[in-house]
Amino acid sequence: MSGQLVLVRHGESESNAEGIWTGITNVALTPKGHADARRMGALLADLDFDRVYTSCMRRAEQTRDDLLDAHGPTTAVLKKTAALNERDYGEYTGLDKWAIQAKIGQEAFKDLRRAFDAVIPNGESLRDVYERVVPWYVANVVPLLLAGQRVLIVAHGNSARALRKHIEDVTDEAVANLEMDFDKIYIYDVDEYGRCLNPQVRLL
């Protein structure tokens, strides 16, 4: 019998609150982000974790720490990996999102943010993120799940979307409509390929 994968996005960061394209900028959580992470932990208090993975970014680690503090005592093994880091927004890193939308138009802006192959100068597309996240997931997480372990992943908007694209078998076109919100917890039983069998969603 397989274990379970629990997937969350980090809490609200300082740049999220300011409408700034964060990407690989290593910002901290806002007070709301800390509070929401603790609420996640309380909602997951009925689940014991064997392993917890985060990116190497501060906001993901802070979310993990707050979540586990509210969750209660755990013997989970804690791991970090750059494979889960947020999408590199290249030349747009640190810029105001809405100023960019006003400059390039709403449709082009939506494609830039959501389309699978949208290119950012000196940055990553979602496909690039997918190609680093999914092989890591298949090699490192799926064997744990198939061995019956429960794994928590604290990721970012785009690294989580890339994972969900694989897990939920979402097409390249449909991924543009796939959101990874701050207030949702995704829980999956998976098959031998790491794809979902019985998805659940818990809301903050």
Q: Which residues are catalytic?
A: 10, 86
**Strand pairing class (4-9; 51-54):** unpaired
Q: Which residues of 14-37 are buried (b: 16+ CB within 10 A; e: fewer)?
A: ebbeeebbbbbbebebbeebbbbb
Which uninterrupted H or E stretch holds 172? Answer: none
Judge whether 163 and 134 are in contact, CB under 8 Å.
yes
Which tokens in the block code for residue 40? 């996640």
Residue 180's alpha-carbon distances to 8, 99, 144, 160, in angstroms, are 8, 23, 24, 7
Burial (CB < 10 A; 0-12, 13-18, 19+), residue 100, is middle
Q: Which residues of 116-135 are buried (b: 16+ CB within 10 A; e: fewer)?
A: bebebeebbbbbbbbebbbe
